[in-house]
Amino acid sequence: MLRFLTVLAALLFLPVLHAAEQQVPVPVPAASVIFSAYDPLALDQFEENTVVTRRMVDQLVLAATRQTEIGKAWRSLVAPGDVVGIKVCAAGGRYCGSHLGIVEAIVAGLQEAGVPPARVIVWDREAADLRAAGFVAKRGGYQVRAIAPVTGYDRAAPFAATTLGKLIWGDLLFQDPGTRDGKRVAAADQVSSTSHIARVVSREITKIINVPVLSDESGCGVAGALYNMTVPNVDNWRRFTQPDGGADSIPDLYADEHLGPKVVLTIMDALRPQFASGPRFNPNYSFGCRTIYASTDPVALDAHALRLIEGWRKEARLPPIGKRAEWLESAAQAGLGHFAEGKIEVRTVEAK
């Protein structure tokens, strides 16, 4: 009888153990690796050498995926049936935005993995910025998309944050000034704690290659990997770049199921980084670094970018970014990656 009760108790306890095992979160790796490729020929003055940058991108992807063939490398990240989005930062234009050659190297690699250009979407918020950076749709090529005001945002994909933002024309919830149901609606009175994610990413794209630029941002400090996947992809976005703590919500926004979880690789363009007045191009604070980074850890990339920017600002006798970038440490605490310098390894790869 005693043996029967012991066996019964063990059987009853097994499901509890199994459920507990299933609920254990996936641990964050003990350290993160950033792969770095540098080539002095990547830029000729301001002009990108696309032959060189394609070679750099290929070597970074091979290193990040531990593969020996570029097609296999990309197939380890995406499948032929995916709709792959390439999120560029076009605000810096031709010289300080995501460089065209880097993006076209990614498209070529995806094609070798079985993803046709028609299933690749290169996008950013502003159509004018995309054109200025050289991203124009061509017959038989990849799609180029801007986010249309109002209709480009998904009512079914909201994001709420405690910081209120003033609504303007183009935001989904903005109402033209006038009278509604006997009440006067004024533009200045419209504020909201809700943003809406762009439809292109919430409804179409299944996997994302994030291609930010190594740049500062006056409000949130760093316009890098996390910024590039969040702020340009929502309406009512201005509140996230306010120096009074609005950036604290960026990690939560990145963690939204429509955004960060779809990112399979981040390739940071540091061919011509900018350490002040970014992300719009200002040649006074930009220089030819001729480097590209890649990692699966967006926080580590941004932490490394922040440390570089702070060093460059110090050399230029500019005030430090300091507290404006404290939200990056919160991103690490939320489990999105590593911020501590001791937990980040920068590994150089040779662009053969």
Task: Give the DSSP per-residue string, 278-301.
Answer: -SS--GGGB----EEEEES-HHHH
In a domain, 337, yes or no: yes
Predicted confidence at residue 230, as pLDDT, reads 98
pLDDT at 19 over 70: no
The pLDDT of 30-49, averaged and rounded, is 96
In a domain, 22, yes or no: no
- Find all residues with CB under 8 Å of 227, minimum gap 6, and list them: 212, 217, 220, 250, 302
The pLDDT of 134-146, averaged and rounded, is 96
The Cα 13–Cα 171 span in angstroms is: 53
In a domain, 160, yes or no: no
In a domain, 110, yes or no: yes
Predicted confidence at residue 28, as pLDDT, reads 62
pLDDT over 70 percentage in the chain: 89
User: 210 or 243, which is more confident?
Assistant: 210
164, containing H or E segment: strand 153-166
Predicted confidence at residue 244, as pLDDT, reads 78
With CA atoms as reference, report the closest residue to 172 among 143, 142, 147, 138: 147
pLDDT at 192 over 50: yes
In a domain, 178, yes or no: no
Q: State the pLDDT confidence band at 245, using cuts at 50, 70 and 90.
A: confident
The Cα 29–Cα 127 span in angstroms is: 38
In a domain, 112, yes or no: yes
Burial class (CB in 10 A: 0-12, 13-18, 19+), 40: exposed
pLDDT tens digits along 287-311 = 999 999 999 999 999 999 999 999 9
With CA atoms as reference, report the closest residue to 303 among 248, 249, 230, 222: 222
Position of tokens 């540098």? 38
Predicted confidence at residue 23, as pLDDT, reads 39
Predicted confidence at residue 178, as pLDDT, reads 67
pLDDT at 246 over 60: yes
User: 330 or 5, which is more confident?
Assistant: 330
Predicted confidence at residue 29, as pLDDT, reads 75
Which domain does 91 fall in, by range?
Answer: 31-149+201-348
pTM over 0.85: yes
Q: State the pLDDT confidence band at 176, using cuts at 50, 70 and 90.
A: confident
The Cα 295–Cα 60 span in angstroms is: 9
In a domain, 117, yes or no: yes
- CA–centroid distance for 67 within its chain: 24
pLDDT at 183 over 50: yes
Predicted confidence at residue 181, as pLDDT, reads 59
Two structure tokens written together for 12:
């009853």
In a domain, 108, yes or no: yes
Measure the CA dihedral 305/310/313/314, to 10°: -150
Burial class (CB in 10 A: 0-12, 13-18, 19+), 111: middle
Q: State the pLDDT confidence band at 270, using cuts at 50, 70 and 90.
A: very high
Total domains present in the chain? 1
